[in-house]
Amino acid sequence: MCSHPGSGKEADLVNDRQRDHRQSVADITIFDPATVTDNATFDEGKNSLPSTGILYVIVNGTIVVKDAKVLKGVYPGQPIRNTVLD
């Protein structure tokens, strides 16, 4: 359970989670901490290798990674863009 240490706010946080959040955005990642590995490196050609050990990813209620495989043609989220640095 999440809480604010020493604040006694645990009950408030639990009650907040039970409210109806139909307009809220929720993404969930299910992984095995014993096997999750970041395979990308800064080496050219290896900088976009996917991580392993990520079993499921759910974006806006839609499964995008199932049984550790990225599903093709599934794009329920919004892209996050950043400036490319030289």
Q: What pLDDT was estimated at residue 3?
A: 42
For residues 59 and 53, give the distance between their C-alpha atoms in angstroms, rounded to a whole number: 18
* Residue 10 falls inside a structural domain: no
The answer to whether 43 and 32 are in contact (CB under 8 A) is: no
Residue at 41 is within a domain: yes
Say yes or no to pLDDT of 79 above 50.
yes
Among 76, 49, 53, residue whose Cα is nearest residue 63: 76
pLDDT in tens, 17-66: 555 566 666 789 999 999 999 888 888 887 777 789 999 999 988 999 99
In a domain, 35, yes or no: yes
Strand 69-70: give its sheet, edge to edge: 27-31, 54-59, 62-66, 69-70
* Domain membership flag for residue 28: yes
> Could you tell me if residue 7 is inside a domain?
no
Range of the domain at 56: 22-70
* Cα angle for residues 3, 23, 82 (degrees, 5° grid): 80
Average pLDDT over residues 66-72: 92
| Number of domains observed in the structure of the chain | 1
